A and B are shown apart, each in its own frame.
Chain A
Amino acid sequence: MLSTTIIEQLKNKLGPGNVVSEKEDLLVLGYDSTPGIHLLPEVDVYPTSTEGVLAALEIAQREGLPITPRGSGTGLSGGSVPAKGGMVLCLNRMNKILEIDEENLTATVEAGVVTLDLFNATAAKGLFYPPDPGSQKISTLGGNVMEDAGGLRGLKYGVTRDYVMALQCVLPDGSLIQTGGKSVKDVAGYAFKDLLVGSEGTLGIITEVTVKLIPPPKDKRTLLAYFSDIRTAGEAVSKIIAAKIIPSTMEIMDKATINCVEDYVKIGLPRQMAALLLIEVDGHPAQVAEEAAAVEVILRQVKAAEIHIAKDAEQAAGLAAARRTALSALARVSPTTLLEDATVPRSLLAETFAEIERLTAKYKLNVGTFGHAGDGNLHPTVLCDERNHEEMHRAHAFYDELYDQVLAWGGTVSGEHGIGIAKKEYLARQIGAGGVKVMQRIKHAFDPKGILNPGKIFADDRE
């Protein structure tokens, strides 16, 4: 329990409505979308300005209170869960779009702006912010930057990191820094901005983000291909990339995922098929026509069971929206959905699907797989019940063995969800003791007292 003095001080600085410490509030800010992780903070604050963040941090610093930043709590590795209690700092009330600069093609937003709101606001001005994580309707820009969120368009347009131009950030020592700017080029000193992107809230608290905008593609076409064997779908993806075609989107769903998504969206997805690929090519109309034709040729070569072309933009948007619900829709089947974020070089997709199939049988599990096939980024999801400890044990063994293979192939344990609490051991396996030590030293340089989002990414070296 925190002393009432600290609560009062916070209320004085942030406003009484922006500080909550009732048990019910604490209970609902101790989770994100990661299954099985629920820890309790001692106080929640909702600052509405950078000054509010500074004030909260100053009090936390003085009291030695751990502080965990949080956007909308849609993370999938426990990044915004208060691992060591203390204060959860919710940024969702800092949700103003501050500027859309049409001369420099940038947008500057507060950290709590919802990703899709930024997309819509820039689209209204004829501009395009490409990163579109599955949770774009809910996720915040601050959270996207801290987790370096990807999305469906990552294949052609890259991920959040590729669009961050400047950050305003509060450091654990209470200083406010600006890093980066609207200049296209900037090599002045260490690239703090790039260090902060993907740092999972362990180095600083982002309060403002400036992102790069681009002109939207003039045309696009969406293809849907069905497969009777998921490995063939993997082969198709590798061949399309090898043919030097970069679609904007190349998403895969397996049979289990197709059925769960169809249960929810009811748009006539093929329930009996082993897999489907959702492929979108965009750009200049001539290029779109050429690439769509080339993709179709490859799909026929590998013998896709069926090939369909979306009849209009509305149908295409419906398909992408359906894909975005995949993870949540899988949760219809079982109380617990344990998902991973394995990413491999794209030429190895077919082998990865084969490995997932083998391990699913070996550990007698129910697994649904979907993901950003074009990025080699798959989300094999075990559909299980957290009350069944024996099943959970098998699920973890499944991932253990899968990750051994993924790392042997030169892949990574996380393509876009981050390490958080959930994957610390896997990270250590990937980068080794030396790699972890370097990360700990960087963390120490920013946060010598270890108050900022402690317990994430790697074990604390002082533990």
Chain B
Amino acid sequence: MPSSEKLGNFTAQDAPTYESVLQCMRCGFCLPTCPTFALTGRERSSPRGRVALARAVAEEKLEFSAAVKEEAFFCLDCRACTTACPSGVKAGEVMEVCRSQAQQQSPPGHIANSFRSFILQRMLPDPDRLEMSMLPARLYQRLGIQWLVRHSKVLKLGPNWMEKAEGMLPALDAPLRPQLPEITPARGEKRGRVGFFLGCVMTLMYPNVSRQTVRVLAAQGFEVVTPPTTKCCGAPHLSEGDRQTARELALFNLDLFMQAEVDFIVTDCAGCGAALKEYEELLESEAAHDKLVAFRAKIRDISEFLAEVGLRTDDLQPVHKSVTYHEPCHLCHAQGISRQPRALLKQIPGIELREMNEASWCCGSAATWGLKFSQESQQVLDRKLNNVKQTGADLLVTANPGCQLQLAWGVREAGMQQEVMHLMELLGEATPEG
């Protein structure tokens, strides 16, 4: 939401628009959907309260104060409030822009800042450097975890976060990006040519998931183009309030994929998908409108895409398991995709889908939120695991790496039986080698 004129006590760059905060009529429909309000019962930690704070800053009734910054980062950015709001207020987006305000108006101290820019501006924008850091994983730990250890105080990470960060790290295979061919040919009757947007967390932490995504796409008759120079989608930058780097990355990816001449651009990471769908707004004043519209029209989450083109089910082999599905916030709330993953699950022979209560309630991962607010994150996770437990399902399926990390860790810690999988791993299991 860029605006040229300065609004109240916001800076001119990357501020909420007045309309976006005035739209809230304070009915409170968002309150029962907000995990942080459920935790605290404190109005300022609710979407309605946060939008009211932003409005007060816009109306110069309040400085962009430490408490406003605190709320901008305490918000999980799960967007459940956006789904719940009949008036069309986007409290999550308002808070995301406020995170950028926080970086502009009260920049973090020197050490925290150098760490932050190291990760956001040097590591994430550069896939080679990222992979170097992950190979071997030891080095990752030196670069990542040790940095975090040293600066846990300035970063305000929660208690016991380190144990959690280490515990969450899955067994690491070699990153997928260098292994994937740039072009994977279609199998069977060809149905089109799609670009695959391989996310950073997917290539580094879940290479086997994305390998299945590409394999399934090919088996479904699509030629898959995976540009090896793809950069980070910018979601971590938006989430940390670094909108400038996010714009640079977005511009690069926009050009890269528009040159690839693909019918669609598909991703298996809900966080990436949500960010890619926001390029249109993010780059409003940086790229041609038509180009942005054309790009936006091509973006699909993998489940959205497969449900839209129709799954070829003739060759699928049965998987005799009961499944419960956790909806990633950035899929169901940020992209409005709820029906499609379930439809795909039901099309896999042998799968029995058991709905859990509150399937679209956040798991408490939310990018770095789970490390910054580790106690609160545990409470949100416990609520989720309790709902999972009640289904008694064999598998807990989701569609986003952040959720998968958090849920796999939570299930293990709680001694539960469920195997945690990405939807595409399951679909991969049902898709015969060929």
Contacts and interface: CB of A to CB of B under 8 A. Distances in A.
A23 B41 contact: no
A347 interface: no
A31 B26 contact: yes
Contacts of A20: 42
Contacts of B46: 28
B19 A32 contact: no
Nearest to B21: A335
A284 interface: no
B44 A33 contact: no
A331 B52 CA distance: 16
B86 A328 contact: yes
A24 interface: yes
Contacts of B88: 263-264, 332
Contact of A24 (B19, B24, B44): B44
Contact of B85 (A92, A114, A138, A328): A328
B86 A329 contact: yes
Interface residues of A, number: 35
Nearest to A264: B86
A229 interface: no
Given A27-B52, A74-B27, A337-B25, A22 B67 contact: yes
A73 interface: yes
A249 interface: no
A130 B62 CA distance: 42
B87 to A, nearest CB: 4
Contact of A73 (B23, B28, B67): B28
Contact of B29 (A138, A261, A332): A138
Interface string A59-102: 00000000000001110000000000000001011000000000
A331 B25 contact: yes
Interface in B43-57: 43-44, 46, 48-49, 52-53, 56
B86 A33 contact: no
A135 B24 CA distance: 15
A129 interface: no
Contacts of B260: none
A137 B32 contact: yes
A59 to B, nearest CB: 21
A114 B65 CA distance: 32
A329 B87 contact: yes
Contacts of B68: 24
A332 B26 contact: no
Contacts of B19: 335
Contact of A328 (B22, B25, B42, B44): B25
B52 A135 contact: no
B65 A73 contact: no
Interface of A: 20, 22-25, 27-29, 31-33, 35, 46, 72-74, 90, 92-93, 114, 135, 137-138, 261, 263-264, 325, 327-329, 331-332, 335-337
17 contacts: A22-B67, A23-B62, A24-B67, A24-B68, A24-B71, A25-B42, A27-B44, A28-B48, A32-B26, A35-B25, A90-B41, A135-B29, A325-B86, A328-B25, A331-B27, A331-B86, A332-B87
